[in-house]
Amino acid sequence: MSSAPPHTTPPPPVRRVGLLGSGPLCAEIIHLLSRLDADRLAAACAPRSSGLEIAAVCVNRDGVGGTPDFAVPPGCRVCTSYESVLEDPAVDVVVEATSSSNYVVAGLRAGKDVVAAMPSVASRLTQVERALAASQAGREGRRPLAFRYGGSACGGAPIVRQLLDAYRADDVTEVTGVVDPAAAAVLAAMAADAGLSHDEAREAERERTEDADPHAEETLGARSTLRILMRLAFGADASVRDIAAADTSGVTQHDFEYARMLGGTIVPVGRAAVDTDGRVAAYVGPAFVAAQDRLAHTGTGEVCVEIVAANAGTAALTGRGEGILSQANAVLSDLIAIAQGNSTHPHPFGVAQPGAQFVPEYAAQFYLRMDYSDTFGIVRQVGEICERCGVNIHSLLQNPIRAGELATFVIVTDKVTSGEVQRAASMLEALDWCRGGVFVMPVLREGAIK
């Protein structure tokens, strides 16, 4: 008597990935995926999938097709239009790695799971939410589409997942950090070499990182990151352009000299905080940071983000923020999460705290540095203008004037609003003795300057 063949369950399907983009990031995603042992990948993708494979790569440079600058996996289709990837029924999940994130929403509308890899997705948060909501209408009884974007903010510091998952029962009150490692490297080089100008430090950083776009707006990526963090932490929103920002080009060696006198240094930061009335304020740019502060010791190429919450207190995430390796790793982690069957978080960009609302001005102590032509009555005029603008002066510093150098002095204010200090700076710049613009930056922590 013959026995029936044993029943075997077929393995779950492999998730097939389409890459929109053909630059170094996509090359690194393919490289990292190829290095993963097949059994390890299958275990990571269980129980809904048995692995990942790259099914299509789109090469579209300024509307013109071509060949990728890297080897594609066997069986991978090379396309010349993004639409052909989105319309391909063999593609399950799309990685949107174009610089503008133009195809994130189109991918969701095409019924694909989507991983957004670039900070520019910050300009499309509302459209993504609408597309996700609309996509569920025709999917009754099926798994909702998945959308993930861990690679779009802070590289190797998994801040997106942390804010989505670890603070569901808590109230975040502040998110602060070094989120632009390139700007941080420029200022760190200036701090280490008193003979280095900003332009020289910036050029050296471009050569070190092989930055292909020397005209890129310095603060755009940091503001995009901060918008994402602000939505996640507080549920409050603002356009990228509404977030107060200053680049590092105004920082001179005089500022580092004064910062050392004050017991600190200068670091480019992004900060968003909510007050007890629900007002959320944010800024990006150079700030005075005390020498003992954690952010003063962020390593070259790293990002460091602090999260302050009512219950959990202060936690910090540090990781590699420079280069494509950490970004590609975050994208691959998102792909594996989707392959596991993890759907989109019910609130992918955070849950609003009651009454949370973005306001364009922020409050802090401020550092103002002025270059001047020596004359009588300067201190009196500074005091009168500050009084008129509601700005209390905490302290005034002046180094000895050295032959051949600009004469400079610095005032540090008590806590005031950014609007009040900018009005004072504008009035000071109009005075005959003020040479050029007044350099203004916040003091990161209240009380850091005694």
Residue range 166-319+351-358 in CATH 3.30.565.10: no
Q: Which CATH architecture has domain 363-443?
A: 2-Layer Sandwich (3.30)
Question: For the whole model, what pTM was predicted?
Answer: 0.90
- Whole-number pLDDT of residue 328: 94
* Proportion of the chain above pLDDT 90, given as a percent: 71
Condensed to tens digits (0 to 9), the pLDDT of residues 73-99 reads: 999 999 989 999 999 999 999 999 988
Instruction: Specify the domain boundaries for CATH 3.30.70.260 within the chain.
Output: 363-443
Higher-confidence residue: 59 or 108?
108
Condensed to tens digits (0 to 9), the pLDDT of residues 38-58 reads: 999 999 999 999 999 999 999
pLDDT surpassing 70 at residue 215: no
- Whole-number pLDDT of residue 108: 93
Higher-confidence residue: 400 or 313?
313
Which residue type occupies 60? N
Condensed to tens digits (0 to 9), the pLDDT of residues 317-374 reads: 999 887 789 999 999 999 999 999 887 777 788 877 778 899 999 999 999 999 999 8
- Whole-number pLDDT of residue 1: 54
- Whole-number pLDDT of residue 68: 80
**Most confident option among 194-203, 230-239, 262-271:** 262-271
What fold does the segment set 14-152 form as a domain?
Answer: Rossmann fold (3.40.50)
Residue 63 confidence class, pLDDT cut points 50, 70, 90: low
Condensed to tens digits (0 to 9), the pLDDT of residues 412-443 reads: 999 999 999 999 999 999 999 999 999 999 99
Mean pLDDT of 308-323: 92
Lowest-confidence region among 16-20, 155-159, 342-346: 342-346
- Whole-number pLDDT of residue 60: 75
* Proportion of the chain above pLDDT 70, given as a percent: 94
How does the average pLDDT of the chain come out, rounded? 90
Instruction: Specify the domain boundaries for CATH 3.30.360.10 within the chain.
Output: 166-319+351-358
Mean pLDDT of 219-248: 93
- Whole-number pLDDT of residue 170: 92
Residue 217 confidence class, pLDDT cut points 50, 70, 90: confident
Lowest-confidence region among 165-174, 214-223, 264-273: 214-223
- Whole-number pLDDT of residue 4: 62
Instruction: Specify the domain boundaries for CATH 3.40.50.720 within the chain.
Output: 14-152
- Whole-number pLDDT of residue 442: 98
